[in-house]
Amino acid sequence: MGLPVLVVLVVLGIALSVAAVHFAGGTTTATLAGADQALARFAEDFPDEKPGAMRLTADNHAAFVDLGPQRCGIVHSIGDCFLTRIVTPNEILTVTREGNVVSLRLNDFTWKGGSFLFVGEADARAVAATLQNSDRIREAA
């Protein structure tokens, strides 16, 4: 078998594998149906926590749970699953709020954070305040 035929077979095999994963649902992103689902998903991993206010992002791909002073629970979609974690100011490199967008950068190599768009500026302000540590939060002008 010649090299050009082998290259075509390899490329075709890779393309078919990617297409099979895509059509089997492997490229979908999980979406939260609402605050109740986010609280239930968070409670699965942290059953002893007493969640307070729940704030969903505009795209329903993440939710932030108030857990008291400077503690925030996060439920965030990664692929077709949800990552849950509790974040404290010691884990935060930066928190920036600009309008209704909160950008969070963590010092954890397993999840670096991201930018989260909220429906209202009040939710973004509340999430940023929960994560606030006076020398690590910056509000953009």
Task: Please give the average per-residue pLDDT across 64-77, as a whole number.
Answer: 90
The domain spans of the chain are 1-27, 35-139
- The CATH architecture that domain 35-139 belongs to is Roll (2.30)
Task: Please give the average per-residue pLDDT across 3-16, as a whole number.
Answer: 89
Task: Please give the average per-residue pLDDT across 23-40, as a whole number.
Answer: 82
Strands 62-66 and 92-98: unpaired
Q: By percentage, how much of the chain surpasses pLDDT 70?
A: 91
The Cβ of residue 46 has, within 10 Å, a number of other Cβ atoms equal to 16
Instruction: Read off the pLDDT of residues 33-55 as tens digits, 9 standing for 90 and up.
Output: 999 999 999 999 999 999 989 99
CB contact set of 41 (below 8 Å; sequence gap of 6+): 32, 75, 82, 84
Confidence of residue 1 (pLDDT cuts 50, 70, 90): confident
CB contact set of 103 (below 8 Å; sequence gap of 6+): 94, 95, 96, 97, 113, 114, 115, 116
Task: Please give the average per-residue pLDDT across 6-11, as a whole number.
Answer: 90
Beta bridge partners of 28: none
Instruction: Read off the pLDDT of residues 98-134 as tens digits, 9 standing for 90 and up.
Output: 999 999 999 988 889 999 999 999 999 999 988 875 4
The token pair at 43 is: 């409670």
